[in-house]
Amino acid sequence: MSITSHLPRHPIAFLPTPLHPASRLSARLTNDVGRAPIQLWLKRDDQTGLATGGNKTRKLEFLVADALAQGCDTLITTGAVQSNHCRQTAAAAALAGLACELVLAGQPTDPPTGNYLLDLLFGARCHWTTRANRLNRLNELAAELRAAGRRPYLITYGGSDPVGACGYALALEELHEQVHALDITPDLIVVPSSSGGTQAGLVAGAYALGWDVPILGISIDEPEAKLQAAVAELATRTAGRLGKPHTFAAADILVSDAFLGGGYGVMGDLEREAIRLMARTEGILLDPVYTGRAFGGLLELLRRPGALARFGIADAHTIIFWHTGGSPALFAYAGELIS
């Protein structure tokens, strides 16, 4: 029986997503690092199927189910202009027959491009604010909708609450079955981590399954200690929802904040190299905000002798990189990618 079978779920994603052996990239990394062979696998959650795919689709299966169970008629959430989470929420709302209201931090682009264009195509109504004010505006909007007789379901930033994180406990179970079928033993799982829901779900899922595998989050925008604490707290709450109570300490959570660069959504040389390398060896697209930064961070960790030791990892030969999607955002960064 699945670790989430007792929880309401609204099927949306195309599952299981592939576990793809990145053969050409593995050979390139082995040559660059100059040590024992590296076998890199890609968990292709860019292939979840909804609105060009992405990790948030797994969370939305549980969040939409909860919204429908409560009789809600509108999904509301928040993110940046090029938010993958907002794009997938808008699509999930359309698929479930719900309205969608998005609080976006920044300014609308003219013409709309990338994820923002897709938000509009899926019929979402967009509200604009600052990054610092987005959660306040989200709560204000929920109150406004209720006053107008609507029944909104508020989804926090990134869908990162115990309901949404259960999607990644189930994803970890899916991966466990795949590695068993392929007879591989990963030394390390690497995932982009920002709002923390994806990493927290993976951590809680690994505990529920009794799978002792290192799960390293490459921070996209948060200081290490802050993200560790947030993921530990959310993983604890998620484990409880799974019926496998456990209290995680911040020290249990593996996070690197060494690759924050110029800040959230600011693409630098690290992200450009990672995106181009993946595209030109595997024909796979990373995004400029999450997977580009996280994969660039992984490249740097592999190139620095002993860099993984601080996470208790003596060496890593078989590595799974969790591709969380986000390719529509590439079109908003064209001038920075091709120059």
What are the CA-CA distances from residue 117 to residues 123, 168, 331 (Å)?
10, 27, 10
Spatial CB neighbours of 35, under 8 Å, sequence gap ≥ 6: none
With tokens 């909007």, the residue in question is 141
Nearest to 57 by CA among 158, 151, 195, 156: 158
Identified catalytic residue from 26, 83, 193, 256: 83
Q: What angle do CA 212, 297, 303 make, to 5 degrees?
A: 90
CA distance 161 to 70: 17
193 annotated active-site = no
Dihedral sign computed on CA atoms, order 117, 122, 127, 132: negative
Cis before 11? omega within 30: no
Spatial CB neighbours of 228, under 8 Å, sequence gap ≥ 6: 250, 251, 253, 255
Residues with a known catalytic role:
83
